[in-house]
Structure 1
């Protein structure tokens, strides 16, 4: 897969950031009560047609931005593999990016020049997809490229490319297995499905099978599954059906249909009894997984079980979160989800134990709550709340034409999995009509303690047309439209709060960001982590609402409210439906003005927070990002704190309520803030609502606080620090030094300079370590600019036995970029094209536009500066880049942090003579 997580990993990662809520009344109710709840509707208009070769096409017209989402789904995934040949679907996805017979070069190249966004390829058990959003003038290029790899690939798939991508995939597998709990899902697949079941192996496959894959094998895979009749193409955005028919026939009509296929439709393999296993691994906390094989995708029971998983373990208001995390405080995390797939679903409950707590104790609580749910079902209030929240999330998905979960994804999934682009509507109908009795019955069917169907049908008599498109050259990308952003209306509330509004009326939602000039740097001289902890505690209760009531009200309103801290800012973000804006603003204002920082919630959060810090220290990348800033800026500098913002175990342990109240009263004041709003409203409509909610929020009489930041000199030599992680399958390499702030006049030039070296997929560092050497799943350089200063960082997770060589290659790339092999005109033009051509689609969503406006205003710039970004980038010369590289990059002054198996890497690192190698513990202290 290309720089993405598997569906299971995404589901778990998303759920781990959520929580859950207990209920008191479990009495059943009638379907009539449920029917009174009005859920927001989603209706994606589309048309379909099929080419003579069997290729199915879905077209959705959305003219709000001059971009088109091209989403190609093949009805083939890891379930179509055979034992002994696992990982082929995913390996072939990688090979699809390595050139075709008519364009034998890196696939991302033309798209980066054309400004493509949301571009990737992914593999699951059930399908493989390839997608990108392109400016409308680049559509012919995109279709030419997609059709070229569908119909003209095999001649370009060589043994060298197979060996290269095999190494990349194996490094991807190593990288996944190096993470805490990284071996779990492969083991669960083997244990929960019978041998030979298509879900009994992982999508990425086994190392042995990948090693054994021959060139003949992968060629056969393409011939078996990549025919036109086994694919669906969705075109969504700035396009109509007539145009789509003409272009699809031109570029795809000549491609053969492919072989007739036999495919499974269902194999649930429902189990009986209880099976147990124990796995030992290098993890920061004991974790419990409990799961059942359940109904497959598209069934009513799958929807009911999805709702049940939310009520039981889907957020901070869920029953298990309340019992395990909030009330009994024996777990630091609990989550649950229904994992939908074509042949079978799986229902997961996952929980992390706090130190000293036996997993058997957590398991007993889960069993008790599950038994109560099976006996009584959910309450009406629980069901209505989670139904509305899920429907509201679908409304937000429908704002985007492409990318993960956007409209083109919804249509493609429906067509591939259920032969109906509007299949999501059936799921919405199941959701709308679900009653407590439905959820209870589904839980009784599937969660209390299996039929193979095969349909064989003759393949239609497909035909192909004559080749209609010129395959000798790539279609040129036409002129791109100028960036036209909404005007910014500004006004000031009676309490002095500055407000900026950009109107966007595409879907009936409003997003706002209240940003304060504070952040982690406000912790300097105090207790690190205070800013993040205090912002998190705003949601934990007010003078009129408990934390549970806040979450419950937000779910009922379909609103999303979040708080966060970054290095230079703290912020509160609200995403509300227009119809629910006034009550949503009431909650927004309540947590801002009346947060009580209750002592019991502080203690509960403290233990969970400390467990989170331990998990950060167990993850090599986050551990390095905790330690590197302190080595570069020093312990007493605002930018020397862990980049995660979580503080240290000692500082969080010492935090008290007075610290949090002091932070709030000192920094969260209207004269230190700006409110930016993007959405379907006007100044005349929203200003009175803001006045009603915030007029009594006044600045204190005390002077405005100031950040305490000082200049730090750059080190004059290299320094090397190693953190031992015994038996780690790969080494995580970070190297950094001081860099300019984000507010410097040449910030755009610095960004372009970094992008050429290591800021894109086809940049030098990644192409070297990933594509050329196959030592890493991905390597990059980062310029992180803040208000006062910044860092330049090179980051590369690499296989252990190539640690020394990878460091040498990093030093070589950085050194040559400054002198012997500086940036070329072609490299600059590629980055200029990429950064400017993707602008028409860069602000498609309210969230993206809001983030851009907030960032622009925080840099003391205006909307004209944002709109003229393309002109500034296009004006950069290659000499500008070469000069900037010499002032930005200093290979002889790097601070290295390397995390890996010290017994295998330290001696070789010393041979490089980069400087004294100092061993650090997990807190960054010298051993």
Structure 2
């Protein structure tokens, strides 16, 4: 999540490169005709007009009007986060956020009415400085959303019981286990433990410690609510199809009678200097050595915040970053690097790291790492580097203008500006500072902050010796024993407010999915355009009828490696030219191999589209597959495969494909990044042959969404791609109809010692193809079963039992055989019990528990009401168009959905569940600690097979 421009800091740059020593950086890339962007003019376009008003009780409301869709983003920020938690109650702010969703005195469940009214998304989050809640609703449901937000703000406690506390405590503890169970999952705990002294408000993690979560009582819930959740500690942002004159009486009606509460107490929480450098080493279940370095830094309002962000971006965030060039591309001692500045209200965290190339010398790599950091501190960035960094940051913020609500939307941007800086337009001041920062500003800030003693933590492969359950707390448990677990039996508070009925949502206008225009280039390539003028950008997707499925199992990973090599150099541009040109143009060209299609995607400012299309065409059509670049990328891919073998979810996925489709089916490994033995024996000539076979115009189509007309688009596409001609030979045939073995019950276990959770994946191939039409009843039945927060599986395993952070059933979009997959991560001691629950819930639907009226309304009428929310951004529209093309749906499929959903009744949903969602013949993969799970699995009465991670 990105709550603030400067708060998300670490940017992965494994495919980036930079050094002033390389000749490409001494000049603008010769093939780019674009002039440097006018950054001040670009910032001027980033505008979010707003009005504010404040009620007598202190509630401040920000209103931004955007009429492009009949939806309103509702964003509520409480000025309280984990930094306000006392000793013995770490993790409580986040636990309370979960409790806020369980219902209030007049709302039995917060999610059901909103989803039934068409809200997407409905969510919340907690961090050091704040807790927030978001939903985006149809305009006619705004009154309902405001009533519900007001009801839990003012009238919560009479509905919070010991049972609800216990349930959500279990959910949060499994959220913690899920994070801890990942490779490198304990690093963040250790970093703040070393950088900050005991008692510093930013030292303990937002998720908290297991002991503190277990100790939270009903009285704590009541006190936290009374002390922190008053309207005077709240910023409410409404963005979208609303104006201040309309909003004010609605806000006054629902929130005006809520009494003020105590002001949230301020805390002292500035940056801290280490007395001397600290060096530590940690072992973990990882595949590569990772070296990380950390400092505390200033808060986001400090004058050094923007220069530090830009400096760290030059160090390890740009495509042409200093560390990438020196360590990944030049010396080839690292497979990836990262650097960034994470700024919070009162403190920031500066971090940088590299992953050592397999078999590499750590001392040599660390010396180069040290040298590049020292060189940037001493010299500062060049004017060219800084301009490219500023261009990327500013252009990247254009996306925030598309979404009115949710995480990262315009309501969030305005609310955080007011909450942290007293100014909803703080984002604008930040970006103006980005546009005008000088190399001297950046150098001076780096010298002030990065010359202080640092904490260097190295993570090496080996058994995990630290216990995440004991981490994340206050830090003085050795002197102050952890609190006793909650004894339960807390007294529910008396009802505090009047009885109020939920407003009925108003009508929703019929979905107006934007009309697609069609044309054909002179070489026969079809072009589809949807014009959207909200932001001055264009996204172009060149889709090839290929995908990883063309590899089959014998060559798994070959096609994707070819696709990844496209941007590694062409016959006229080297890697550096390509990366610099993207930064100069504020453009992004990415190539990806999906399962059934290969896509090259360009994101560009409209004004730079001609030059950006030229770059896209060169990358797509003229890759060089140079031997030196190939060797580096091949090494990186082999390291990625080894890394997947340390990740529980990836292990389950790699095992499940062959179980479902059979070892020789082309879909068996198509969703993975390939086989190590295949990757190891590939050559550049293999990739050239793969490119010649599949990158051809008679397998291609363009789909474009953005601020451009067809009259302007076609000449630009023709100029860039019009000379692309198909060879005389016919295109290769995709073999996707290979036999699939009969479904059979199998239980496969992959041992992962020390895992606090078990990852479960259950699946079966259905007697359907992805391109079969008329499957909407099955899709809605799947929503009832497991695809959504309110699904039966999630309600049982998460909300009722508290054994998982979440569970999902899915019907992955494939052209070929359709599969049903259920996946979750559950606490290790409930592994077998969770499998039983999943199978029992599937068996009951519909045999003993057919779809009920509430579920039927939610997945039919609720989905209809939520359709305008799903196509708010250019990316959402593009995804819908590409999905239609992949699965053979008509252009107006989205507009047909309301009538389709209205035609589906309970009998149709029950029939689909009975035919396709039953639990018989399921393949089950379990990734967990055999010492804990084997005795449990014996009780299932299934034969157990074992796989080693190294076999996958």
Shorter-chain TM-score tier? over 0.9
Q: Residues 508, 36 of structure 1: CA spacing in aligned structure 2 closer, same or farther, 3 A cutoff? A: closer
Give the TM-score taking structure 1 as reference length: 0.94
Give the aligned partner of residue 538 of structure 2.
510
Per mean C-alpha deviation after superposition, the further-off stretch among 865-874 and 595-604 is: 865-874
Q: Is the 8 A contact 1:108 1:762 kept in 2?
A: yes
Q: Deviations over 1:313-349 (max 9, x none)?
A: 1143101011111111111111011010111111110
Per mean C-alpha deviation after superposition, the further-off stretch among 233-242 and 700-709 is: 700-709
Give the aligned partner of residue 76 of structure 2.
72
Find the aligned partners of 2:555 and 2:351 in 1 and give their Cα distance.
Answer: 38
Q: Residues 525, 347 of structure 1: CA spacing in aligned structure 2 closer, same or farther, 3 A cutoff? A: closer
Q: Secondary structure at the match of 1:68?
A: strand
Give the aligned partner of residue 325 of structure 1.
328
1:870 and 2:872 are equivalent in the alignment: no
Give the aligned partner of residue 732 of structure 1.
759
Find the aligned partners of 1:629 and 1:596 in 2 and give their Cα distance.
Answer: 33
Q: Is the 8 A contact 1:315 1:335 kept in 2?
A: no
Among 372, 379, 397, the alignment partner of 1:376 is 379
Find the aligned partners of 1:799 and 1:782 in 2 and give their Cα distance.
Answer: 21
Find the aligned partners of 1:848 and 1:896 in 2 and give their Cα distance.
Answer: 33
Q: Deviations over 1:408-461 (max 9, x none)?
A: 1110110110111001112112111100011100011000129xxxxxxxxxxx
Among 89, 94, 116, the alignment partner of 1:90 is 94
Cα deviation, residue 790, structure 1: 1.7
Q: Is the 8 A contact 2:569 2:626 kept in 1?
A: yes
Mapping of 1:551-630 within 5 angstroms?
551-630=579-658
Q: Residues 895, 827 of structure 1: CA spacing in aligned structure 2 closer, same or farther, 3 A cutoff? A: same
1:532 and 2:534 are equivalent in the alignment: no
Q: Deviations over 1:587-615 (max 9, x none)?
A: 01111111111111111011111111111
Cα deviation, residue 362, structure 1: 2.7
CA RMSD between the two structures: 2.3
Cα deviation, residue 201, structure 1: 0.3
1:854 and 2:851 are equivalent in the alignment: no
Q: Deviations over 1:733-779 (max 9, x none)?
A: 11101022221122212211111000010100011111111111111
Find the aligned partners of 1:627 and 1:5 in 2 and give their Cα distance.
Answer: 33
Q: Is the 8 A contact 2:566 2:623 kept in 1?
A: yes
Q: Is the 8 A contact 2:538 2:605 kept in 1?
A: yes
1:58 and 2:97 are equivalent in the alignment: no
Q: Secondary structure at the match of 1:836?
A: helix
Cα deviation, residue 487, structure 1: 1.6
Q: Secondary structure at the match of 1:442?
A: helix
Q: Secondary structure at the match of 2:656?
A: helix
Find the aligned partners of 2:9 and 2:439 in 1 and give their Cα distance.
Answer: 26
Cα deviation, residue 21, structure 1: 2.1
Among 495, 519, 541, the alignment partner of 2:547 is 519
Mapping of 1:793-832 within 5 angstroms?
793-832=821-860
Give the aligned partner of residue 389 of structure 1.
392
Give the aligned partner of residue 132 of structure 2.
129
Cα deviation, residue 657, structure 1: 1.3
1:647 and 2:651 are equivalent in the alignment: no
1:843 and 2:840 are equivalent in the alignment: no
Find the aligned partners of 2:368 and 2:789 in 1 and give their Cα distance.
Answer: 46
Q: Residues 749, 36 of structure 1: CA spacing in aligned structure 2 closer, same or farther, 3 A cutoff? A: closer
Give the aligned partner of residue 456 of structure 2.
none
Cα deviation, residue 15, structure 1: 3.1
Q: Deviations over 1:482-533 (max 9, x none)?
A: 1112221111100110001111111111111111111111102651111211
Q: Is the 8 A contact 1:34 1:380 kept in 2?
A: no
Find the aligned partners of 1:65 and 1:75 in 2 and give their Cα distance.
Answer: 30
Q: Is the 8 A contact 2:292 2:352 kept in 1?
A: yes
1:277 and 2:280 are equivalent in the alignment: yes
Cα deviation, residue 14, structure 1: 5.3
Give the aligned partner of residue 772 of structure 2.
744
Q: Residues 139, 755 of structure 1: CA spacing in aligned structure 2 closer, same or farther, 3 A cutoff? A: same
Q: Is the 8 A contact 1:234 1:412 kept in 2?
A: yes
Give the aligned partner of residue 146 of structure 1.
149
Find the aligned partners of 1:689 and 1:138 in 2 and give their Cα distance.
Answer: 43
Q: Is the 8 A contact 2:11 2:340 kept in 1?
A: no
Find the aligned partners of 1:19 and 1:99 in 2 and give their Cα distance.
Answer: 47
Q: Residues 577, 234 of structure 1: CA spacing in aligned structure 2 closer, same or farther, 3 A cutoff? A: same
1:236 and 2:264 are equivalent in the alignment: no
Q: Secondary structure at the match of 2:97?
A: helix
Q: Secondary structure at the match of 1:244?
A: helix
Q: Deviations over 1:379-420 (max 9, x none)?
A: 111011110111000112122111222211110110110111
Mapping of 1:95-114 within 5 angstroms?
95-105=99-109, 107-114=110-117
Per mean C-alpha deviation after superposition, the further-off stretch among 791-800 and 657-666 is: 657-666
Cα deviation, residue 240, structure 1: 0.5
Q: Residues 496, 526 of structure 1: CA spacing in aligned structure 2 closer, same or farther, 3 A cutoff? A: farther
Give the aligned partner of residue 407 of structure 1.
410
Find the aligned partners of 2:11 and 2:855 in 1 and give their Cα distance.
Answer: 36
Find the aligned partners of 1:554 and 1:857 in 2 and give their Cα distance.
Answer: 28
Give the aligned partner of residue 342 of structure 1.
345
Cα deviation, residue 119, structure 1: 2.4
Q: Is the 8 A contact 1:498 1:674 kept in 2?
A: yes
Find the aligned partners of 1:511 and 1:59 in 2 and give their Cα distance.
Answer: 29
Among 249, 253, 261, the alignment partner of 2:252 is 249
Q: Gaps spanning 5+ residues in structure 2: where?
A: 28-34, 454-494
Among 43, 47, 60, the alignment partner of 1:43 is 47
Per mean C-alpha deviation after superposition, the further-off stretch among 716-725 and 437-446 is: 716-725
Q: Residues 34, 573 of structure 1: CA spacing in aligned structure 2 closer, same or farther, 3 A cutoff? A: closer
Give the aligned partner of residue 20 of structure 2.
23
Q: How many residues align?
A: 899
1:679 and 2:683 are equivalent in the alignment: no
Q: Deviations over 1:651-690 (max 9, x none)?
A: 1111111221122111111111110011111111111111
Find the aligned partners of 2:229 and 2:948 in 1 and give their Cα distance.
Answer: 50
Q: Is the 8 A contact 2:298 2:304 kept in 1?
A: yes
